[in-house]
Amino acid sequence: EEFAEIRHRLPMLSLDNAFSDEDVVGFDRRARERLGRETQFEYSAEPKLDGLAIAVTYENGVLVRAATRGDGTTGEDVTANVRTIASLPLRLSGDAPPLLEARGEVFMPIAGFERMNAEAARRGDKVFVNPRNAAAGSLRQLDPKITAQRTLSFYAYGIGQCEPSNFVPKTHSELLDLYASWGLPVC
């Protein structure tokens, strides 16, 4: 109730997982069917990080907004908390576009999770069950000072709105290279 709602200009969809060869073959078949193409595709694969999906918006290279995925149409404004994540730049470098919504994952690395839980246990406080819950709970703190004390990281993996649209590369690998050149962390 304390976080303002932000409506995503472009839907923020969930990512699919693939756990077997059959899952990957099925994904390829569905992609070709939906696009009406019989030709082979080239794929770029990354690990699926288990955290919280976030859309971060930069205007003229400056971080102005961060929102959770929510229901894919509307998320929560977590800008103040996202600003405390050391790996996420508050200002992009290079020739970033005037408007960029980078999509990615906020997660808690295992070492930070274990350290946080050990400290909580030592104080007699409740510990988190897993790093995903710890990341989500940390990002939804009403006090950004609490979030800042948690070891959160961010990796960019997708793109939402981008203006002008000619900044959007043709391949995923090119997108990740562009993000890295602008200072956004990528996996």
Just list the catalytic residues.
48
Convert 116-135 to b/e letters by CB count within 10 Å (16 or more is b): bbeeeeeeeeeebeebbebb
Name which of 66, 64, 52 is nearest 92 in CA terms.
Answer: 64
Q: How far apart, in whole angstroms, are the C-alpha atoms of residue 126 and residue 10?
A: 38
C-alpha dihedral over 75, 116, 151, 68, to 10 degrees? 0
Helix (H, G, I), strand (E, B) or coil at 120: helix
Name which of 161, 77, 66 is nearest 105 in CA terms.
Answer: 66
Structure tokens at 119: 């400290």
